[in-house]
A and B are shown apart, each in its own frame.
Chain A
Amino acid sequence: MPSSSNAEARAGRGGRRVLNASFVGLLPYVWLLVFFLIPFLIVLKISLSTAFYGQPPYEPVLDLAEGVGATWEKVKTLSLGNYTFLASDSLYVEAYLSSLKIAAIATVLTLLCGFPIAHAMARAPRGWRPLLIALVIMPFWTSFLIRVYAWVGILKREGLLNAVLLELGAIGEPLTILNTNFAVIVGIVYAYLPFMILPLYAALERQDPALLEAASDLGSPPWLAFWQVTVRLSVPGIVAGSLLVFIPAVGEFVIPNLLGGSNTLMIGQTLWNEFFLNHDWPLSSAVAVVLLVILVVPITLFQRYQAREVE
């Protein structure tokens, strides 16, 4: 303990405090550099390489020990060939489009399920709210894989859902739900719901209930007041929640793999196949880079929106 109190004493004199503050400010950038930018550059480099039967399964392998000149010769052999291949083969284009479509539908459905839940939580008695939040987070205590796998038991032909519907007489014969895109969407909605509820709850909880009364006092019927005030003021929460669901859902691998069928085309699976079955590291790296670029677009839009909102 004496050392820490010494540090405090010195910090009190000035100098060090400034240093500490700038280090704390740098920390996120260091983190991004080490865990995002450097890995990304490695993936980008591999995506420009050519597949090769060997270890590692691509070439060229850059090694500065060979000297700058030799390395530069190797750099010159890098090409955009993998990207032109991705653009020319409709399989990849379709996989991207299908992923975006499934993720978009699932995001809208997650929003429609999440909004009433978050709204009810925000209007619940203050004492209940921590418990309700804990209940929303509770599923994370169980393995993601197991929770998604459990849906197989619910959705399969002889599964729980079909049994209940048959028993109720709602259907004459079992529905085929498992191994369809619909099952994938159900899985995404279920798995990502907490990511939608929490930002929505944060946005709804801090709204002054008097705002809703003010709208109706000024002549808006309840449904319109809800739209003008409650929904309008939770737009930042809606955008944040939708991005938190949409972005990982586009690249989702586990859910389409367990619940999807042979017709389900998602880019996460395509990437997995290229990497583990074809051992084509460069091509799968290109798939990953393109996916990242596609996803950067909504993130940028979101940040522009947020900046405008603050102003």
Chain B
Amino acid sequence: MSALASPAMTGAPLGDSAAEPIAKRAAEPLIRFDHVRKTFGGVVAVADLSLDIEEGEFFALLGPSGCGKTTLMRMLAGFETPTSGDIRLAGKSLAGVPAHKRPTNMMFQSYALFPHLSVWDNIAFGLRREGLNAAAIRARVDDMLSLVQLTAQARRKPHQLSGGQRQRVALARSLAKEPRVLLLDEPLAALDKKLRGETQFELTAIQRRLGITFVIVTHDQDEAMVLADRIAVMREGGIEQVGTPAEIYEAPVSRAVASFIGEINLIEGTVAHADARETALDAPALGTRVVASPAGAARAGEAGCLAIRPEKVAMRRVNGHSDGPNTLTGTVSDAAFMGEDTLYRVRLETGHLIKTRRSNTRDGGTIRLGDRVVLNWDPADAVFLER
């Protein structure tokens, strides 16, 4: 039956197959997660997730522990198999391709350096499997050593290196084979704060120089913001939002994203009116009406939330009568000095606390605990969140 039917059936796909791969290649990103789902004995780690990552991007998977970001990365590396769905790399499905045959390399959170091998041999490990001759391996390893500035430590064993040096060996080893995609699992988690800052800039510089697609898994929002071109914020096995760091920060789509990234004021209320220009919200916690002006799809009577970043809330001492939209009065309840700026919490008459941030420049005037202050913000800086 099928033998009879097949010649006729292959005819049709053959007709447009000449044109299709080209169109597909242009349309398809480097990495595509297509309705990927992964469960571990009934526990859902990744739930029906679709995501595209473009060639040459520095892409971050950001989320709290247990959100499925590591599982997603391990499926890309080939250490886990999706329960359902497909992962494609450059248009080809990775299903059935074992880890050792994938053009991806991973930098492990524990670095996973081979303790019995020198720095040099660790970096050469992957190259030896490619059938390169000794001279080509030596040239490549030496290149990698100078890239991460470890030429002088080439003969050392991993246990003779500092944490930062180990991290750079791990990076060099995973880059040595020139992977299509470099996967970085919490690459900076084991470093102290100062070293982390320096390494962040090194990583972005290396990524730009090599043009390799980097996918990083991190729970650290600052790290994701500094490093990535685009971020996927994950929660409970799904993606909350994908966007550039600025989009995620300025225009979060949900309370979860808004509160996960940086400080924010979330003001709960009921939509009073909404039109193409603004969304007004009656907020019982503030005892007043607040306005966000980016257009939303909210309808009057719905519950929702207005989100405003502390640095967008202006604060000045009360002098005379204050009025206008988004204007609140209260007393300064506490202040956290952060160096370049100070984070204040202002208690309104209703008892609700609003966070505001002021830079520690000279022209700000002094504000002390207990001062009566007026807060207000531009409706364009506030975001209305339904979720």
User: Which A positions have Cβ atoms within 8 angstroms of B?
Assistant: 208, 210-211, 213-222, 225, 228-229, 232-233
Contacts and interface: CB of A to CB of B under 8 A. Distances in A.
Report the interface size class on chain B: 20 to 34
A116 to B, nearest CB: 22
A217 B110 contact: no
Contact of B100 (A208, A221, A229, A232): A221
B98 A221 contact: yes
A216 B99 contact: yes
A218 B116 contact: no
Given A208-B112, A229-B114, A218 B98 contact: no
A221 B78 CA distance: 12
Q: Taking chain B's interface residues, is the majority helix, strand, or loop, or is none over half, making it mixed?
A: loop
B266 to A, nearest CB: 39
B128 to A, nearest CB: 8
A225 B116 CA distance: 14
B100 A214 contact: no
B260 interface: no
B31 to A, nearest CB: 16
B108 A210 contact: yes
B77 interface: yes
B130 interface: yes
A210 B177 CA distance: 19
Contacts of A225: 100
A214 B129 contact: no
B114 A220 contact: no
B126 interface: yes
B218 interface: no
Contact of A211 (B98, B114, B129, B130): B114
Given A213-B77, A216-B100, 15 more contacts: A210-B112, A211-B112, A213-B99, A214-B114, A217-B104, A217-B105, A217-B126, A217-B174, A218-B173, A219-B126, A219-B129, A219-B177, A221-B98, A222-B98, A222-B100
15 contacts: A210-B109, A211-B112, A213-B99, A214-B106, A214-B113, A216-B98, A216-B100, A217-B77, A217-B78, A217-B104, A217-B105, A220-B100, A221-B98, A232-B116, A233-B116
A214 B177 contact: no
B114 A217 contact: no
A218 B129 contact: yes
Nearest to A219: B129
A299 to B, nearest CB: 23
Nearest to B173: A218
A210 B110 CA distance: 8
A220 B125 CA distance: 9
A220 B115 CA distance: 17
B272 to A, nearest CB: 55
A233 B112 contact: no
A217 B77 CA distance: 7
B201 interface: no
Contacts of B129: 218-220
B137 to A, nearest CB: 13
A216 B106 CA distance: 10
B337 interface: no
A264 B126 CA distance: 51
Nearest to A311: B157
